[in-house]
Amino acid sequence: MSETIIYLRRGRLVMLAVGSLVFVAAGFFLVTHPELQGVWEARIAGAIGIVLSMVAFFYFLSRLLHPRPALILRDDGIVDEASGVAAGFIPWSEIASVHVATIQKQKALCFVLYHPEGLLSQQSAAKRFLMQANMSLVGAPMTVPMDGLTMPGDQLLVEVEARLSQSTGRAQ
């Protein structure tokens, strides 16, 4: 098999970038609105909202201006760069199973690993925390959001299962 390269949909990235700017505006409103001047909680929430939303905006903008693959399915494994909690390269031999989970009405392809502690030990503290949260929610440290990819989710699942089955010699 050859490589299968999958990108994030540009329309989805534009929508997320615009949404981030809406949250920046809401945060700005909380910080500057005269009726909220004495409410320090609103001002702190607004300031935090501005910072986090600007970080998200610049992330989505960089993905728009410098497109790079979200997923690469290779003969030896999968390269995950689909989100801010991307796992990087995972060999097929480390993947125990895959399944689809729905998280807040969005489908995610979940990769259950034989030795998740190996992946977790390579991550920053923040990324490790988020991957551990994924494990608690869906039983897998590596999740790939399926809705924003150029390949339809059902087709992605079939492709991943076929490559996993082929590389490990087991049926899914």
DSSP string, 20-45: HHHHHHHHHHHHH-GGGTT-HHHHHH
Give kind and range of the element (H or E) at residue 132.
helix 125-138
* Tally of CB atoms within 10 A around 95: 21
- Say yes or no to pLDDT of 23 above 70: yes
- Do 123 and 131 meet the contact criterion of CB atoms below 8 Å apart? yes
Same domain, 77 and 150: yes
Residues 146 and 96 in one domain: yes
Q: Which pLDDT score is estimated for 134?
A: 87
In a domain, 59, yes or no: yes
Which of these three, 19, 46, 65, is where a domain ends?
Answer: 65
Same domain, 77 and 154: yes
Residues 94 and 160 in one domain: yes
User: pLDDT per residue over 106-125, tens digit each?
Assistant: 899 999 999 998 888 988 89
Q: Is pLDDT of 89 > 90? A: yes
Q: Are residues 147 and 96 in the same domain?
A: yes
Single-letter amino acid, residue 146: M
State how far the Cα of 153 lies from the Cα of 110, in Å rounded to an integer.
Answer: 12
**Residues 75 and 61 occupy one common structural domain:** no
Question: Would you say residue 22 lies in a domain?
Answer: yes
Residues 89 and 51 in one domain: no
d(CA 167, CA 172): 12
Write down how long the chain is.
Answer: 172
* Number of separate domains in the chain: 2
Asked whether residue 118 falls in the same domain as residue 38, the answer is no
pLDDT score for 168: 66
Q: How confident is the model at residue 1 (pLDDT cuts 50, 70, 90)?
A: low
- 3 in a domain, yes or no? no
Residues 30 and 51 in one domain: yes
**Is residue 4 assigned to a domain?**
no
Q: What is the mean pLDDT of residues 3-30?
A: 94
Domain range holding 32? 9-65
- Within this chain, do residues 109 and 152 fall inside the same structural domain, yes or no? yes
| Dist. CA 73–CA 129, nearest whole Å | 26
So what's the pLDDT on residue 159?
93
- Within a domain: 2: no
Asked whether the predicted pLDDT for residue 36 surpasses 80, the reply is no
In this prediction, residue 170 carries a pLDDT of 55
Looking at the fold, whether 53 and 81 belong to one and the same domain comes out as no
